[in-house]
Structure 1
Amino acid sequence: MKTEIRSLNNTGLATFSSWLEDPSGRAPIQILNDVAFTEAVDGGYMVDLSRTFATSYHFGEYLAMEVFPSDVDRFSLLANAGMWSWLSLAFINSLLKKGGVGAGKPLAKPHYILQSPRLAYRLIGRTAWDLVNLHGEAAKIALGSLRSPWGEMAEQMTARQEIYAHRSFWPVANALYSAPNGIPKRGATSQRTTKARQDPRNQAGLGGVRRLPLTFKQFERTYNLRKMTDEQILALLPKEYQRWLAS
């Protein structure tokens, strides 16, 4: 059964926020269609509240392919913070920790409620829709984790504005760091430590996703990467990246 998307008002946001701070009981999904906690959203967008999603990529794919039309005003939709919080609550069971310590509990509040423009990229539903809308299947590298709705790869690839919407960056990152099952390869998000830099034989962090934005920035002084294919860019990459293509 489909339900029309609404927006959490200040009362609804406060109710959801309180549960996120102390998720000892069930999420307050009873407020989703209550006019005391929500407001109407222009567009008449409908969602199936019975749907569940194994990954944030699948959630974003559903929103991009089945909920919001391709010609929707992107910036107007991104700006509707209350609507994204409503969607966070509506699909909260797909957006909780998947395993380990705290399994079944929510992540930090900015992943569900917009708390500041600086942290808008961490709002899972909003960013999942936007990335699939911008990059298609290449967005899976950031959103395809089966272990968490927001893994370290998502953080690294969305926190930097210069690569967030870079249409050439995402296919290259996907080719380098995506395993055959779509999840990030082990070690792809590792940081190059001081100890590793002092040992020429230590490859930890080399060619990882933390270094790729810098490589792109250096290349863009000479090449127009936005007009090149991912194959052309991959052929230009320094030797440190080759091990990721071979793995």
Structure 2
Amino acid sequence: MTEAVPEPVKVNSVQLASRKEAGRLLLEWVEGAGLERPESDAGLWTWLSLLLFDSTCPVDGNGMRKPGKYNRHIAEVDNWQKRHRHLLLSPFLVYRAHRDQPDRACVLLCQQVHKPGDIVTQITERQEYWSNRGVIEAAGALYIDPATGKQRVGAQNKSKGGVRRFADVLNQLDLNWYLYGMSAQELIEYLPEKEFSRFLTKA
């Protein structure tokens, strides 16, 4: 089945260098087509995943493709806890939320499309986090090396100071504080210094 779009837009299969590039291009395509609520269109994201399969599921050194779990390619648009796992819908949503300053969300957009990693997984599980300027800037200050624009070593550790612990602290703070009203610096000041010391000295 196909569905007409309000405005014709030309799309091509391209190789995407990063989630940031994916978000920018997808936003350009979606807005160019005049689509409303594209995040609710499962067919759209499945089709785009196939179109951009060389980016979402590239051939490895042995000439094989490893698609992984189905929701990396088939969006669960009605499940807000899982729709972020789609390899194209996720960067689209993040880029659109921070379109005024995409580099702010570097912590969620610097990765390869097919390898989002644990930082993306942990922070995008809740919309209140990935759409929150303070949270995103705090995470970027902790886990992104400003000299390279890439993740710092140890950022994905499951132990002290890693992104999973950062998400745990956010969950605790969210019980008593309005996170949308907090700046990145305020959030960082509430992090347990002993646990996050290796990253706090760099933030």
Q: TM-score range by the shorter chain?
A: 0.7 to 0.9
| Percentage of matched positions with identical amino acids | 26
1:171 Cα offset (Å) = 1.4
Matched, 1:230 2:195: no
Matched, 1:126 2:89: yes
Among 156, 166, 171, the residue aligned to 2:137: 171
Q: Which residue of 2 aligns with 1:190?
A: 157
- Please state whether the residue corresponding to 1:210 is helix, strand or coil: helix
Among 70, 86, 94, the residue aligned to 1:109: 70
TM-score for the superposition, normalised by structure 2: 0.78
Q: Which residue of 1 aligns with 2:111?
A: 145
- Please state whether the residue corresponding to 1:46 is helix, strand or coil: coil
Structure 2 distance, partners of 1:47, 1:229, is 40
- Map residues 1-247 of structure 1 onto 2, 5 A cutoff: 9=1, 39-44=2-7, 46-64=9-27, 66-69=28-31, 76-97=37-58, 104-114=65-75, 117-118=78-79, 119-135=82-98, 136-146=102-112, 148-180=114-146, 181-191=148-158, 205-239=159-193, 240-247=195-202
Structure 2 distance, partners of 1:69, 1:113, is 21
Q: Which of structures 1 and 2 has the bigger CA Rg?
A: 1
Structure 2 distance, partners of 1:101, 1:207, is 36
Runs of 5+ consecutive residues of structure 1 not aligned to the other structure = 1-8, 10-38, 192-204
Structure 2 distance, partners of 1:83, 1:131, is 17
Structure 2 distance, partners of 1:103, 1:174, is 34
| Change in 2 beyond 3 A, CA 1:90/1:105 | same
Query: Is the CA contact 2:138–2:187 (under 8 Å) kept in the aligned structure 1?
Result: yes
Query: Is the CA contact 2:13–2:51 (under 8 Å) kept in the aligned structure 1?
Result: no
Alignment length (residue pairs): 194
Structure 1 distance, partners of 2:78, 2:47, is 18
1:206 Cα offset (Å) = 1.0
Query: Is the CA contact 1:111–1:123 (under 8 Å) kept in the aligned structure 2?
Result: yes
- Please state whether the residue corresponding to 2:133 is helix, strand or coil: coil
Letter in 2 for 1:218: Q
TM-score for the superposition, normalised by structure 1: 0.66
Letter in 1 for 2:139: A
1:68 Cα offset (Å) = 3.2
1:73 Cα offset (Å) = 7.3
1:43 Cα offset (Å) = 3.0
Q: Could you report, residue by residue, the CA deviation over 1:180-204 in whole angstroms, capped at 9, with x for unpaired residues? A: 323322222222xxxxxxxxxxxxx
Query: Is the CA contact 1:56–1:95 (under 8 Å) kept in the aligned structure 2?
Result: no
Query: Is the CA contact 1:41–1:83 (under 8 Å) kept in the aligned structure 2?
Result: no
